[in-house]
Structure 1
């Protein structure tokens, strides 16, 4: 049995990835956190010295836990999310709203309509590139059957793509308007694209880099970005329009963007190297 402190540190290095897997499967931050915590408990009870690939083992365990939770949800006949409706606002945290925006409420609605095994197969293969041989063991099917599950789910998801593509184009336009106004020092332009209650929230590394902590309100956020963002460009961050800042060809900051209608409601600056490495980043040419 490995030292528990060492094991805990190893687990923490995988927590963000496991949370992303669980959230995409469950669509609920609270349930995703429960699934990740259960994975930790199972790891703590296991003979970790026999685990060759800890990341793969944990992903498999989380996937199985999520599959059980989805099946239990279906057996209780819980109603899926209504089209275009996130989880109840009265119960949603700011972070949950950020996560829902990252995936896209429309996609969450489509995923909620899938059968549990279809959802697991689709998420693991299409979002996290897990091979069907591994997925088959999780869902209790053959690799060919697991491939069919993902294929059926993919057809359902693709039916929602036109709306998603139009929404992505709209959001890209908002981000580009924000960056142009920031570079030009156009305070009025910044205020036009910022929600009155916008929040800029840097992680610890970004806070040290910019020597600024959380900033709230359109006036304050606009003042913060006025004349800045010279190296910032639009990018797809985990498939969602956001902002990337690179120096010398190296990514230094990624900003997740939360939208409220046609305005920016949140800017989460990520500069921690570990978190940056876990992001899927695709630059958008301007």
Structure 2
């Protein structure tokens, strides 16, 4: 029996709201593409059971003719968002030649406080039965009040001094870490490519292309590339490129987009020097949209060669491109 699509679920540590398409945990919220959410719900409805590729295609891509690659890429995208390790999964396990299985506990979402499900527990402190009342003399009360004010004032001054000292050290460290000179000059973050196809039908293809580029760049000697889990954290978030670069500790940022038209796809990419915002390289690729995996591999290979030449051939990062 299927769960209602408007029921808010708990899947492992995540709060899943099918109606809004959102995953949230510890103040972090991510929106899923509709088909990816349907795939997640299909696995959740059959938690603990093996769900075949054919069933997932029928549930998530009903009425659309796609290959099993769409399922593979959607599961890879889900694992990234859930923070799951495919080698040691806690959410989605691959069952070779059969399909996938949801490992995490699934149930309706209920707020909990101090580990108790439902309403908060109120604890009332009362005096022990038969205890004697203690009456302080006025002089004792004044003396106690004076002592409390003295201690409070001393603690306040100590806290202010500690805060100022900490802030000074923090600002100094932030300045040192944020300085472009301290960063590896051959470092690049690949942001998730945008799917500009109508109704975002090819988001899995764009995500797969991003991962393929990261994989190929990471194999180039001397070039540092943050892992896909770090880059995909910024997906669908409106954060300035300079801030993303500082967070990931890189000098360059690559972003791009994919757009499908009939039986062809256009892939656009650009390389930005984060500290000054200059675009130092850009390219557009038009290809037949036939074999998705082969296309991802081909484009990622060409991009890697072009990026390597651009990064290693930049004479002075402080000068704008001609």
**TM-score normalised by L of structure 1:** 0.23
Higher helix share: 1
**TM-score normalised by L of structure 2:** 0.21
